[in-house]
Every structure is written in C-alpha cells, then in structure tokens.
Chains A and B, each alone.
Chain A
Amino acid sequence: MTSLPAPSAKKLGLVIDLDTCVGCQACATSCKEWNTSGYSAPLSDHDPYGADPHGAWLNRIHAYDVGEGATSRTVHFPRSCLHCETPACVTVCPTGASYKRAEDGIVLVNPDTCIGCKLCSWACPYGAREYDYADGVMKKCTLCVDRIYNETLDPQDRVPACVKACPTGARHFGDLGDESSAVSQLVKAREGYDLMPEMGYKPVNKYLPPRPRRDAATTPSTPSTAAPVKTDGSATEKLFAWADKLLSR
C-alpha cells in the first residue's frame, strides 16, 4: 500500500471535448511517439509485424454508437489516465512505485521500483494502465511530465504531446485546481463531467459532452417552408416574373 500526499492546490489535467473529437488517433500516436522515447521509454510492441500485434499505449481511442435509430450518435472517446485525486492505483501499489506528485497531482510510476505486479491495473476502473511486456513494468500517462516543465522546449510547446497534436482542438491542458484557469472555465461553460464519479476516485480530467444535435429530431421544419408546394408550370412562371427585373452589373 502506498499513501497519498496531502491534496495539492494545483491539479494538472486534461479536458477532452467529445463534441469535436473525430477519432483521428492523432493524440494516440503522438503520445506513443513522444513517450516511447521519453520518461516512460520504451513503450514496447510485441509481435509488431505479426498475427497479434500489441503494445503499450498511454492513450487509446474508442468509437461508440450511443442510442439507436434516428436519435443515435457516434461518439469518439479518448481514454487515458485521469490523474484521480484519490487514485486506487496508487494506494494499491505495494512498493511505492505508483505515486501522486505532491506538487501538481500527476500520477506517475517509478520504473526503478515498479515490480510489474499489475495490482494497479486491476485497481484502476478506467483501464488506464498498460503493462510493458518487454520492460516488465507498468506504463501510464505522465501528462508528458517531461514536456510540460521542459526548459529546453519553447514555452508554448510545454503541453502534453496529445494536446499539441490534436487537429480539432478537442484536448485542453491546464490546472483544474484553479477555478479561474481556462480549462476550469471551459468545464464550467460546457458542463464538463467526471467519468464514473460514483466510484469515488475524483478524476481530475474532465470530459465535455457532445453538444445537442441540430437535425430533424431537434429542428422541425419551420411553418413557412413545411407546406410543400406542388411544382408545376406555375412555379416557373412565378420565378420568371420575379427574375424579370433590371439587374445591374
């Protein structure tokens, strides 16, 4: 068992907009690409060119049908560590390798003390931990801890790789412990929510729900256009009369 530090004022995390995520996988591969050579290096791949390729990914994207028939929607759902305020993956760790940083709340694994027992992956209800079979240790989202404070990068690049890559701007990074931060404001404005709050782990990351559709199910035809006009020669004559005017160049 590993204990948690006192709750930090700073709670770094991601806000993910399910309204604009198109499922392009940019966040997944940019994450893999940065992190396979970063703090978590490597993110190994087994049988990479064979019958059952599988490797360690810190961010995976799923697509779901939500609902049925005319009111159904397709939702793309990126899944990574939520950096919970009370993460079971940390408290379950027998060696202290899993820990929550006191300074900013990022949940990390220390690869030098991780024994690869996988208790954390059993404890995490979000499926956010990945076992690296070549390394024998657990890997997980680090919020790109080696980017966000990295003084060798341009200040505007000091964001997680997934946030930098995301083409639709569906991923936002910031301090969710600060109510005035841009991410906190976004969560407030768009009614961002926690994943499975009933589990009680208090995720820091938030998801923004898809905006309501604006289609036939929600937008009935306006009265002025609802009545179909029988098209016959009179429609053409009417148009001709309207168009028969002095038009200037």
Chain B
Amino acid sequence: MITLTNVSKQFGRDAVVRDVSLQIERGEVYGIIGASGAGKSTLLRLMNLLETPDTGQVTVDGDELTSLSSRQLREKRHVIGMIFQQFNLVANKTVYDNVAASLKLAGRPRETHETRVLECLRFVGLESFKDKYPAQLSGGQKQRVAIARALANEPHVLLCDEPTSSLDPNTTAEVLGVLKSINERLGVTIVIVTHEMDVIKQVCDRVTVMTDGSVYETIDVIPTGVADIDDNPSWFVDQLKKAGEPHA
C-alpha cells in the first residue's frame, strides 16, 4: 500500500529522516512510535508529500508520488486522508462545511455532497452537530469531525499525526474506537504516529520504532482492543490503585 524506499530528509543541516525503508500493507493499522525528535512525524508527512524527500521514493497505491505532476499529486491526496494533533479544522466553517470542503476540493458533484457529509458525520457519531462551529466542540469531537473530513472522499489510507496526543484518556478511547472501525468496516489502511505506547498497544497490527531518524525495529503486535473508559470518577481511582497502593 505504502512503500518508502531509502527515504531521507534534511532540514538545514539536521538529518531528520535517514535512509528509511518500510512497507505498509493494505488493510493494516501501522504504528510509528519514538521519542520526540525521532523523525516520526516527518516520516508520516513524507507519505503524502507534505514534505518532499531529499532522496528515495515514496509509493502509495502503486504511484510514485515524487514523479507525479502537481495536479496529479493533488488528485492523489484526495485518497490519502490525514488527521492532526491540533485537528486543524477551519474555525469559521460549520462542522458540515468543514466536511463538505474536502468534497469540493475533490470536485465531487454538488448534489452528492449532502448525503455524503451526513453519512460521514453519522459514522463518527456527530450528525446532530452539523450546524455547530468547531469552537463549540470538545477536543474529541473536533478530532472526530477531522476524521469525517478525511473520510469524505473514501480514502484508501488515513495518516494520523499524533491523533490523540492532545486528548484526555476518555476521548482518546473515543477517537481510537472510530479509527478502529474505519479500519475494520471500511478497510482503510491506517498509519498512526504517536509517542503514546497505550495507543499503539490498543490498535496497531505492526509497529516501527524510530530513533534518531532511522528505523530501530519493526515488530508485529496483537492489538489489545480499545480500552473501555468511562467518566465515572471511581474508574480513575481504580486505575490509580491498580498501579500500586496510593501513598498515605
């Protein structure tokens, strides 16, 4: 699905990604983990050419991205969805218009927009929020809108850049649940970059550990499933106690 071949990227004199090769298979949930500064976000951004590699090839769905014309690349990006740590919604557009924007960019026929937008919002459980503005939503809800926006054009791949890193445990579970069902029900290949080990353990089939711009190791894992978390304060107490008796 996605193949990186000897990809390197430098910012000024800093080599952020050094000669990385990896292959992501269709339909898997692929994690990339590492300390901050390990180059994992840059690696992800190379997969839709938000960053252009200095050397090496990036192939998505059989297309070598660096050889595409800028128009072809834009078309290609319609089927490579992406979500971000800071959600990056347009604050002056309603939830509905945020999702519709991606359909407009892809040049889909106008009369199909409404059905598709509502379908995507239903998928993330936010249909009733369509007329709200992002400022009126919680972090988890914003991320779900961003997911709906990324899903609108039926992408083959969803790139997730620290998707839960600014969310609390509760909403993290909510967002991970949505990502998992996108993978299972829609067959979308998912790549998640994160520094949160729990996220990796819960949803990923395969994980690459990065250090200092290089691949340290890639391992197969069996996802534990998304942890059930509820709002009940007793849950937090239980979690705390599980980790050892609280200090007196």
Q: Do A and B come from one complex?
A: no
